[in-house]
């Protein structure tokens, strides 16, 4: 467990009567700073306790600001569902302007800067191309295997209808689907668990500044692509569009580094991009390229989706590169798929999900209240979906823990899905004439007369994307309201049960398909009430329902509206789509969070929201900071550095001028005059390279160049494997050339709101709290701020403080 989560009161070096003096109060806990006096050997104590390093004072009141009443954060008990994981560390998005960095910058010329900028565009181009090629591979495999699967089932169903042996095609359907589902689950459960789900929540957390282990490995990319292919072929209520975000991010993270740590080779190029800041920007472009390949909408799905749901840091240069990457991805996929379908040069396949072009349907002003009402339905249905999926996920995390149990659950869900589909096909008699305009690829006659096909079988025995297109574009009399309603109810609950399984899957298509089903029901009702009015087109309302359902589940508004406009080619529905999506989001947010945010919370990821909790301007940094602080001197003994790394797992250490622990009479309210900040990763590399000196005044030898630090990125050496002689341990390590001499700091009287905004806007990993003399008073990290939450539900706000724990299962 991370030592930031160790409790100060239970530290093995603490005396029973030392440390924090806690007194129960009516609305909080009082704290006496004068009693906080750790001993000299407590120097390497943890930064914080499991419920905060320093309890908030009574009523959380600032003693120097009478009348300033802050909110009271209610401490939650230690538990799986209310605990932040201590297993996730932050990324270093802050630029370290140390001596070796400035020396490297001074050697650059205008030409080298231009070359570096041009290289970024070249890397972005190849990210778009590779992401599109992966998407094409997935789509072609799904199309070809689907033809074989459903063609085989169609043949045996029609044969067994006459011979009264329908149990045979049912068992065949069950066996084929479960076979693919088992393969999809085994790849994830036994191969790479981080590849489960769509990956969008984890990519969001990475861009937010959380280091999610194995998120961008080559093995993860392979499992994600192969797993989602098998999931779709297994007939589960999943889509292949969402995982493209994770796939694109993995491609970008790999190509931008010019090496593969998994395969163990280095091309020796792109060394300037081997840092968290540059990698983050490329991952943002890769995620946008993945969505653009999925939907064929570079603006809506590429740029806007990354801005709305993905990236936490944005600037104009990133905007242009992301747009270029999305365009390259969409164009490459269009060329490859058009060639595959025998239409070279026509470019008729915009993305993996092609909704088809909508005709110019009249738009009446009286439809706006109908759109708002559908937005309300979508928001309510989305909130219900999220809440049910939340409880299912809680059940999984508590009881379905072993790998074989996760695979078994996938088998059960797949069996239920196939059985429900077969029962509906068998019992629902929805026969429609097979016309020339019908785009049913595998029409099943079942018990219908000659020249007819079973409409229910058409919805089940095809890919979900084809079912969405059918609900959008089929003629008004194609579907029976009863069959569509039954399909919506069953598919809605199956999708809710399926999302969260140990497989690679997405929520986009299940949400769109279930929403299109109930939206078409609304359209059919209006079509009959208006006796076939031109504006009451069932396909149009299927589109509105699909948008409302997805907006209610994922709470995506702007990007989804533009995606649907781009993919359908109908600009006139823009106002209706946006109105519906906003209504669905507001209604859903009134009850719970979006599906991605719920997954993040369940996994205990310390993701920082866009803004600080409201009404927290009276809460000061000194009441939430972690202390005592582990500090290092500018020139420190090697043995001390080794001891610090062995005794703690902190990722950053303030560098001080004066060691405040040396004086036994010191009150320990501060820990030395701040000189800089050194990272754990830097200390590991320095111990590996051993630039030691014998003088306590510092080293005279040239410092290690910045290129050496980039060489180890992102997997830094383990100092436990490094052997040190007694002479080396007695030597000194000069930290001044390597430390960040200008780290971001805040005074101890700064508010929680200001501290949060500074930390969030700059993408910080560490924020040092100083007193009036610029002496280190405490430390604030991501986990410090992420503990304080404002939960809003049904109009009420609950201010809570989350404990830190050891769980951390990817969503």
What is the mean predicted confidence (pLDDT) over 777-785? 90
| Tokens standing for residue 208 | 């937010």
Residue 667 has pLDDT above 60, yes or no: no
**Higher pLDDT residue, 33 or 206?**
206
CA 20/CA 36 separation, integer angstroms:
6
Structural domains of the chain, ranges and CATH numbers in brackets? 3-88+615-805 (3.10.580.10), 116-340 (1.10.3080.10), 367-603 (1.10.3080.10)
Structure tokens at 91: 């990324």
Q: What angle do CA 763, 768, 770 make, to 5 degrees?
A: 140
User: Mind listing the pLDDT tens digit for each residue in 169-182?
Assistant: 999 999 999 999 99
Give the pLDDT of residue 697: 87
- What angle, rounded to 10 degrees, do the helices at 276-295 and 558-568 form? 40
pLDDT at 65: 42
Please check whether residue 534 is in contact with residue 542, taking contact to mean a CB–CB distance below 8 angstroms: no
Q: What is the reported pLDDT for 317?
A: 79
pLDDT > 70: percent of the chain: 87
Measured CA to CA, the distance from residue 224 to residue 229 in angstroms comes to: 9
* Average pLDDT value for residue range 183-187: 97
Alpha-carbon distance of 208 to 607, in angstroms, equals 7
Q: Is residue 570 scored above 80 in pLDDT?
A: no
Tens digits of residue pLDDT in 679-735: 999 999 999 999 999 888 888 888 999 999 998 888 888 877 888 999 999 999 999
What are the start-end ranges of the H helices in 625-748? Answer: 638-647, 680-689, 706-712, 726-729
Structure confidence by residue, pLDDT tens digits, 72-116: 777 777 766 677 888 888 888 888 999 999 999 999 899 999 999
Query: Which pLDDT value is given to residue 379?
Result: 96
Q: What percent of the chain stands above pLDDT 90?
A: 48
**pLDDT tens, position by position, 295-309:** 877 776 667 777 776
334-371: per-residue pLDDT in tens?
889 888 888 877 777 777 777 777 777 777 788 899 99
pLDDT in tens, 634-657: 999 999 999 999 998 889 999 998
Q: What is the pLDDT of residues 405-437, one digit of tens each?
A: 999 999 999 999 999 999 999 998 888 887 655
115-140 per-position pLDDT tens digit: 999 999 999 999 999 999 999 999 99
pLDDT above 70 for 806: no
Asked if 592 and 598 count as a contact pair (C-beta separation under 8 A), the reply is: yes
Rounded to 10°, the helix 167-186/218-233 angle is 170
**Average pLDDT rounded to a whole number, residues 509-513:** 94
Residue 793 β-bridge partners: 796
Reported confidence tier of residue 62, pLDDT bands at 50, 70, 90: very low
> What mean pLDDT comes out for the span 652-671?
67
pLDDT of 31 > 60? The answer is no
Number of other residues whose CB lies within 10 A of the CB of residue 100: 18
pLDDT at 129: 96
Helices (H), 164-270: 167-186, 200-208, 218-233, 243-255
């Amino acid at each position: 467990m991370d030592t930031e989560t160790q409790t100060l009161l239970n530290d093995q070096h603490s005396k029973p009567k030392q440390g924090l003096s806690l007194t129960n109060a009516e609305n909080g806990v009082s704290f006496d700073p004068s009693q906080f006096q750790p001993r000299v050997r407590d120097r390497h104590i943890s930064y914080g306790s499991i419920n905060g390093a320093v309890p908030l004072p009574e009523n959380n009141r600032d003693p120097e600001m009478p009348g300033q009443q802050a909110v009271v954060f209610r401490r939650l008990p230690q538990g799986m569902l209310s605990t932040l994981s201590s297993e996730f560390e932050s990324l270093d998005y802050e630029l370290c302007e140390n001596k070796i960095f400035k020396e490297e910058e001074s050697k650059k010329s205008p030409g080298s800067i231009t070359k570096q900028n041009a290289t970024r565009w070249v890397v972005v181009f190849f990210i778009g191309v590779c992401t599109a090629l992966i998407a094409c591979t997935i789509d072609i495999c799904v199309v070809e295997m689907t033809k074989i699967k459903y063609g085989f089932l169609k043949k045996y169903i029609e044969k067994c209808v006459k011979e009264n042996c329908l149990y045979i095609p049912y068992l065949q359907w069950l066996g084929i689907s479960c076979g693919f589902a088992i393969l999809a689950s085994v790849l994830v459960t036994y191969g790479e668990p981080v590849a489960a789900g769509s990956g969008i929540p984890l990519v969001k957390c990475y861009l937010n500044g959380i280091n999610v282990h194995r998120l961008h490995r080559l093995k993860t990319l392979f499992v994600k692509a192969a797993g989602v292919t098998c999931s779709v072929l297994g007939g589960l209520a999943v889509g292949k569009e969402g995982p493209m975000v994770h796939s694109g991010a993995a491609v970008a993270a790999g190509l931008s580094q010019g090496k593969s740590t998994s395969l163990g080779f280095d091309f020796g190029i792109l060394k300037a991009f081997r840092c968290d800041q540059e990698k983050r920007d490329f991952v943002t472009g890769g995620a946008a390229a993945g969505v653009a390949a999925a939907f064929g909408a570079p603006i809506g799905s590429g740029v806007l989706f990354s801005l709305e749901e993905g990236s936490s840091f944005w600037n104009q240069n990133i905007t242009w590169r992301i747009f270029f990457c999305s365009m390259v991805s969409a164009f490459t996929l269009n060329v490859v798929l058009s060639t595959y379908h025998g239409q070279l040069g026509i470019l008729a396949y915009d993305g993996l999900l092609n909704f088809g072009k909508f005709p110019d349907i009249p738009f009446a002003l009286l439809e706006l209240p109908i759109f708002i009402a559908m937005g309300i339905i979508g928001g309510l249905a989305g909130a219900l979906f999220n809440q049910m999926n939340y409880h299912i996920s809680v059940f999984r995390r508590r009881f379905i823990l072993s790998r074989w149990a996760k695979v078994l659950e996938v088998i059960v869900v797949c069996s239920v899905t196939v059985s429900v589909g077969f029962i509906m096909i068998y019992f629902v008699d929805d026969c429609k004439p097979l016309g020339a305009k019908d785009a049913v690829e595998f029409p099943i006659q079942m018990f219908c007369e000659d020249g007819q096909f079973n409409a229910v079988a058409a919805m089940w025995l095809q890919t979900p994307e084809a079912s969405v297109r059918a609900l959008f574009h089929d003629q008004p009399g194609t579907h029976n309201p009863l069959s569509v309603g039954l399909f919506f109810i069953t598919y809605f609950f199956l999708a809710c049960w399926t999302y969260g399984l140990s497989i690679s899957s997405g929520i986009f298509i299940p949400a769109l398909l279930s929403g299109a089903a109930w939206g078409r029901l609304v359209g059919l009702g209006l079509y009959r009430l208006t006796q076939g009015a031109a504006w009451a087109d069932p396909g149009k309302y299927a589109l509105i329902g699909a948008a409302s359902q997805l907006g209610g589940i994922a709470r995506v508004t702007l990007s989804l509206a533009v995606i649907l406009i781009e993919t359908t080619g109908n600009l006139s529905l823009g106002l209706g789509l946006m109105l519906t999506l906003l209504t669905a989001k507001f209604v859903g947010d009134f009850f719970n969070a979006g599906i991605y945010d719920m997954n993040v919370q369940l996994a205990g990821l310390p993701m920082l929201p866009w803004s600080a909790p409201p009404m927290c301007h009276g809460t000061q940094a000194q009441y939430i900071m972690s202390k005592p602080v582990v500090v290092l001197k500018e020139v420190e003994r090697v043995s001390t550095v080794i001891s610090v790394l062995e005794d703690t797992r902190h990722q950053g250490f303030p560098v001080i001028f004066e060691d405040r622990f040396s004086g036994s009479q010191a009150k320990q309210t501060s820990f030395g005059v701040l000189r800089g900040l050194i990272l754990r990763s830097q200390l590991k590399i320095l111990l590996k390279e051993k630039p030691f000196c014998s003088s306590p005044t510092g080293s005279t030898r040239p410092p290690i160049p910045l290129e050496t630090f980039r060489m180890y990125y992102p997997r830094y050496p383990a100092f436990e494997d490094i052997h040190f002689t007694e002479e080396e341990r007695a030597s000194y390590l000069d930290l001044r050339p390597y430390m960040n001499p200008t780290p971001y700091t805040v005074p101890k009287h700064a508010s929680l709101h200001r501290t949060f905004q500074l930390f969030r806007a700059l993408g910080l990993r560490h924020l040092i709290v100083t007193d009036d003399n610029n002496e280190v008073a405490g430390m604030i990290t991501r986990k410090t701020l992420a503990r304080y939450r404002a939960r809003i539900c049904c109009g009420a706000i609950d201010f809570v403080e989350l404990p830190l724990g050891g769980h951390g299962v990817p969503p």
